[in-house]
């Protein structure tokens, strides 16, 4: 397809808009409009969420079953997504009481009560 056909009057504006709107996800137009997010499908986002939830569940299991005198385990980092900036903290984290914006992590006793 030649885009000059639109200029020459052989291609309507409506047809051109339909063609642009329905371009493949990996097209240059989609990449220019949506950036790296154009390459991610719903399945990719669901898989990233599944990986995050599994890592969180493993962290909870390990935290509950570790020795009481052991130092706390590091919370798992989420899979980076294109729409996010740097993946420092998970989105679902609530700020602490002092409002510092750091997420509040459950302790061993809270996790033990939850899973008991």
Per-residue pLDDT of the chain (116 residues; tens, 9 = 90+): 788 888 888 989 999 889 888 888 778 888 888 777 777 888 888 999 999 999 999 999 999 999 888 899 999 999 998 876 544 444 444 444 455 555 677 777 777 777 76
Q: How far apart are CA 86 and CA 81, in angstroms?
A: 9
Q: Half-sphere exposure of 77 toward its Cβ, with a 13 Å CA cutoff?
A: 6
Which residues are within 8 A (CB) of 80 and not within 5 positions of it... i.e. 6 or more apart?
Answer: 86, 87
Which residues are within 8 A (CB) of 59 and not within 5 positions of it... i.e. 6 or more apart?
Answer: 73, 75, 76
Domain locations along the chain: 4-39, 42-84+101-115
- pLDDT at position 100 is 57
- pLDDT at position 34 is 77
- pLDDT at position 87 is 43
And the tokens for 72?
Answer: 């706390």
pTM value is 0.53
């Amino acid at each position: 397809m030649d885009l000059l056909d639109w200029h020459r009057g052989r291609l309507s504006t409506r047809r051109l808009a339909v063609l642009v709107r329905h371009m493949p996800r990996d097209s240059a137009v989609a990449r220019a409009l949506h950036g790296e997010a154009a390459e991610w499908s719903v399945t990719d986002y669901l898989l990233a969420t599944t990986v995050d939830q599994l890592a969180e569940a493993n962290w909870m299991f390990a935290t509950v079953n570790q020795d009481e005198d052991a130092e706390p385990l590091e919370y798992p980092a989420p899979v980076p997504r294109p729409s996010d900036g740097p993946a420092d903290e998970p989105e679902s984290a609530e700020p602490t009481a002092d409002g510092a914006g750091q997420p509040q992590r459950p302790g061993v006793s809270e996790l033990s009560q939850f899973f008991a």
